[in-house]
Structure 1
Amino acid sequence: MNQDSQLRSRFTFWLSVSKDQNIDNFSDQLKQIGSFGTAREFWSYYSYMVKPEKLPFGAQFFLFQEQIQPVWEDPQNMNGGRLILRVKRGFENRVWEELILHYLK
């Protein structure tokens, strides 16, 4: 991916960290990490993010197109789904990176 390449859309990284999985309002635990529209901007965030293998229990990363929040209540997610992968230890970082790089193309 060329560092100055425009991506097909603008995207936002989100983070959720919760020790209590029964939290009433999921959106209250969401933190926007940052938005990007070029490969250079993507790498400026991604290179400093904690990798999946180092996330604390209950933490989740989300990658959505800008203006769409990672909650079911967002109208853009009305017909959406959720993909959860169980990955053998030692492969989680590679799988996460491959998935997001493919999604950004």
Structure 2
Amino acid sequence: MAADGLDVMENDKQQQQQQQGEEGGKEQQDVSPDMLIKHPLQNTWTLWFFKQEGNRTWEECQMEIASFNTVEDFWALYNHIEPASRLKLGCDYSMFKQGIKPMWEDEHNCRGGRWLINLNKQQRASELDNFWLEVLLLMIGEAFDEHSDEVCGAVVNVRSKGDKIGVWTADAKKSESILKTGHILKERLNIPRHVSIGFQAHTDTMAKSGSTAKNKFTV
């Protein structure tokens, strides 16, 4: 499910808006069979929420919110949660394929890395939500083509110094797949050519000595 999947999701969003905008009191119309059938996704995805609380460990503060495997259930979930831009500082949203936890140590993630997009505080109001939604649609719509199987999930971190969106992949040694994924990501987010985004291996991030890890690839 690639471009067609994204088209279905956009059409579904438009249909939701049309239904909400219709005036009440009209005679009930015959419902198209297409409206009664949900559109399945290729994978089941799980949304996680992180908020540090008391003496609980980082892993204990990762809360599994809900899983979905259809276009309609994705929009039902997305439309009933706070936008990323309205999360409190220090909180995260993560969306990963079912069975993969949003942590480096997970067996599906430990050999991989992430494309990292840094946003300044001003971009929180203007771009964060659009970027995050586009990343989600790219993932669940399998829009990374034959490289979609390498994509594990994505995380958005809301922080005082600036927000981050990371798209996680499974194997940091698959350079061709990583670069193709990065180019698609940059193109779909309309990131200017003169602005680079970097890919960092999780092992490098864990072993970093400064505030940032060294980029393994850039596009």
Q: Over residues 67-90 of structure 1, what are the superposed CA-to-partner deviations in whole Å (9 max), with x where a residue is unaligned?
A: 111112211112222343223231
Q: CA–CA distance in 2 between the matches of 1:44 and 1:59? A: 22
Q: Tell which deviates more after alignment, 3-12 or 52-61.
A: 3-12
Q: Which residue in the other structure is 2:85 paired with? A: 53
1:76 alignment counterpart: 108
Q: State the structure with more CA Rg.
A: 2
Q: How does 1:25-104 map to 2 (within 5 A)?
A: 25-87=57-119, 88-89=123-124, 90-104=126-140
Which residue identity is paired with 2:63? K
Contact preservation (8 Å) 2:52, 2:58: no
Moved more, 89-98 or 74-83: 74-83
With 35-44 and 77-86 compared, the bigger mean Cα shift is at: 77-86
Q: What is the Cα deviation at residue 18 of structure 1?
A: 2.0
| Structure with larger RCO (C-alpha < 8 A, sep 6+) | 1
In structure 1, the gaps of 5 or more residues are none
Q: TM-score, normalised by structure 2?
A: 0.43
Q: Partner amino acid for 2:95?
A: L
User: For residue 66 of structure 2, what is the amino acid of its counterpart?
Assistant: G
Of the candidates 5, 14, 18, which is equivalent to residue 52 of structure 2? Answer: 18
* Aligned-CA RMSD value: 2.0
Structure 1: distance between partners of 2:92 and 2:52: 9
| Secondary structure of 1:50's aligned partner | coil
Percent identity reads: 25
Bigger fraction of residues in helix: 2
Secondary structure of 1:28 counterpart: coil
In structure 2, distance between residues paired with 1:83 and 1:70:
15
Partner Cα distance (2:53, 2:78) in 1: 24
CA contact (8 A) 1:19 1:57 kept: no
Residues 12-55 of structure 1, C-alpha deviation per residue, up to 9 Å, x if partnerless? 000001278xx783211000110000011111111111101101
- In 2, distance between residues paired with 1:93 and 1:55? 11
**How many pairs does the alignment contain?**
103
SS at match of 2:113: coil
